[in-house]
């Protein structure tokens, strides 16, 4: 087993994939706590579908760098979704459901009509559930991912206190002079970036799991925002790493293996929480 592993690790591409996976897991878990607590989980889900539609469009247009299309489209949708989500007039959740299902259908339609690929089902499947093998990453993608992840982590650290204030009690924060609109917008943009990043790793249908599971697990165990954030980051990285290693060894699809680990971690945390609570 260790032999197979070291054999694989000799490939630079596998090492890249591991780095990328860990960074994505870290980033997605950081904002997961806020997303869950602000009841924004659905935005993450909606955005991942938008990203799928954008990716299909990019594939059809034969763009050499599809990130140039996917990233802006997702970021703009994030800002729009946040706006409808906070407006009392439009039913926010309905709007999001509409946009997300719409772009899913639109994306699939585009791929069906215009795709030149011989393996359409395979293409669709890998955009939805992540590539079957992580070794398909290109070097540029790895570099972009590293840069964006570092930016996300820096953003999170610099804005940590503001994110807490806005998550805990937005009205109070606003009344005492925190620019809550700006913070919400930044959070939405960062979520969009994270979602686009995670597309390659786990596919658009499984992204929400990556964002939400570690946060929910950590919330079973810890009582303070800081502890929950740290715990969910650690859990997410550990699950991603074990998931990726297992998928290399067992030849299972990366995305679903990672999510399976996340789900198992949640069950474990839930049980520990129950045991401690019921002592």
Partner 1 sequence: MALLTIRDLQTGYDSHTVTPKLNFTVEEGDYLCIVGENGSGKTTLMKTLLSLIEPLGGQILYGGGLQKNQIGYLPQQTMIQKDFPASVREIVLSGCRGRCGLRPFYSKQEKKLAEANMRRMGLEGFSRRCYRELSGGQQQRVLLARALCATQKVLLLDEPVSGLDPKVTEEMYELIAELNREGITIIMISHDIPAAVRYAGHILHIGESVFFGTTEEYKNSEAGRYFLREVEK
Does 182 help bind partner 1 (rule: CB under 8 A)?
no
Q: In whole angstroms, how close is the CB of 251 to partner 1 at the nearest point? A: 38
Place of tokens 């093998």: 133
Q: Which is nearer to partner 1, 91 or 138 (CB)?
A: 91
Are residues 258 and 208 in contact, defined by beta-carbon separation less than 8 angstroms? no
Does 161 help bind partner 1 (rule: CB under 8 A)?
yes
How many CB atoms lie under 10 A from the CB of residue 89? 6
Select from 219, 204, 173 the least CA-distant residue to 32.
219
Candidates 48-56, 101-109, 111-119, 226-234: pick the segment binding partner 1 (CB under 8 A): 226-234
Q: In whole angstroms, how close is the CB of 157 to partner 1 at the nearest point? A: 8
DSSP letter, residue 203: -
DSSP letter, residue 10: T
Q: Which is nearer to partner 1, 36 or 244 (CB)?
A: 36
Spell out a b/e string for 209-232, using b for 16 or more CB atoms within 10 Å of the CB, else e: bbbbbbbbbbbbbbeebeebbebb
The only residue of 6, 116, 118, 224 in contact with partner 1, by rule CB under 8 A: 224
Q: Tokens standing for 223?
A: 């009582």
Q: Which is nearer to partner 1, 173 or 193 (CB)?
A: 173
> Chain centroid to CA 31: how far?
9
Q: In whole angstroms, how close is the CB of 266 to partner 1 at the nearest point? A: 14
Task: List binders of partner 1 among 37-96 (CB under 8 A).
Answer: 37, 39
- Judge residue 26's burial from the number of C-beta atoms within 10 Å of its C-beta, 0-12 exposed, 13-18 middle, 19 or more buried: buried
Q: Which is nearer to partner 1, 138 or 226 (CB)?
A: 226
Dihedral angle of Cα 118, 198, 254, 271, to the nearest 10 degrees = -140
**Alpha-carbon Rg for the chain in angstroms:** 19
The only residue of 8, 106, 108, 160 in contact with partner 1, by rule CB under 8 A: 160
Q: Which is nearer to partner 1, 140 or 169 (CB)?
A: 169
The only residue of 63, 109, 147, 157 in contact with partner 1, by rule CB under 8 A: 157
Task: List binders of partner 1 among 5-44 (CB under 8 A).
Answer: 37, 39
Contact residues for 237 (Cβ-Cβ < 8 A; gap 6+): 22, 25, 26, 29
Q: Which is nearer to partner 1, 114 or 168 (CB)?
A: 168
The only residue of 225, 234, 241, 252 in contact with partner 1, by rule CB under 8 A: 225
Does 175 help bind partner 1 (rule: CB under 8 A)?
yes
Does 173 help bind partner 1 (rule: CB under 8 A)?
yes
Axis-axis angle for helices 180-202, 67-86 (nearest 10)? 130
Does 178 help bind partner 1 (rule: CB under 8 A)?
yes
Between CA 262 and CA 56 the distance in angstroms is 28
Q: In whole angstroms, how close is the CB of 234 to partner 1 at the nearest point? A: 15
Which residues make up the interface to partner 1 (CB under 8 A)? 37, 39, 157-162, 164-165, 168-178, 219, 222-228
């Amino acid at each position: 087993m260790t032999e197979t592993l070291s054999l694989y690790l000799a490939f630079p591409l596998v090492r890249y994939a591991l780095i990328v996976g860990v960074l994505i897991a870290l980033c997605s878990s950081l904002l997961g706590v806020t997303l869950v607590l602000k009841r924004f989980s659905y935005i993450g889900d909606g955005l991942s579908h938008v990203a799928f539609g954008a990716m299909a469009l990019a594939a059809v247009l034969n763009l050499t760098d599809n990130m140039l299309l996917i990233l802006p489209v997702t970021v703009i949708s994030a800002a729009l979704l946040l706006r409808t989500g906070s407006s009392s007039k439009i039913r926010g959740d309905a709007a999001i459901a509409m946009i997300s299902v719409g772009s899913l259908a639109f994306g699939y339609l585009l791929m069906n009509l215009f795709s030149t690929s011989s393996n359409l089902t395979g293409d669709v499947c890998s955009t939805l559930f992540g590539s079957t093998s992580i070794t398909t990453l290109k070097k540029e993608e790895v570099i972009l991912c590293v840069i964006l992840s570092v930016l996300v982590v820096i953003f999170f650290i610099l804005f940590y206190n503001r994110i807490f204030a806005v998550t805990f009690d937005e009205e109070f924060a606003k009344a005492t002079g925190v620019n809550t609109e700006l913070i919400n917008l930044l959070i939405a943009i960062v979520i969009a970036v994270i979602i686009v990043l995670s597309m390659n790793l786990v596919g658009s249908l499984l992204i929400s799991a990556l964002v939400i599971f570690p946060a929910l697990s950590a919330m079973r165990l810890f009582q303070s925002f800081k502890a929950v954030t740290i715990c969910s980051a650690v859990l997410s990285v550990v699950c991603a790493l074990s998931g990726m290693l297992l998928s290399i060894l067992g030849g299972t699809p990366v995305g679903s293996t990672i999510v399976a680990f996340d789900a198992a971690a949640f069950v474990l945390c839930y049980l520990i929480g129950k045991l401690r609570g019921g002592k």
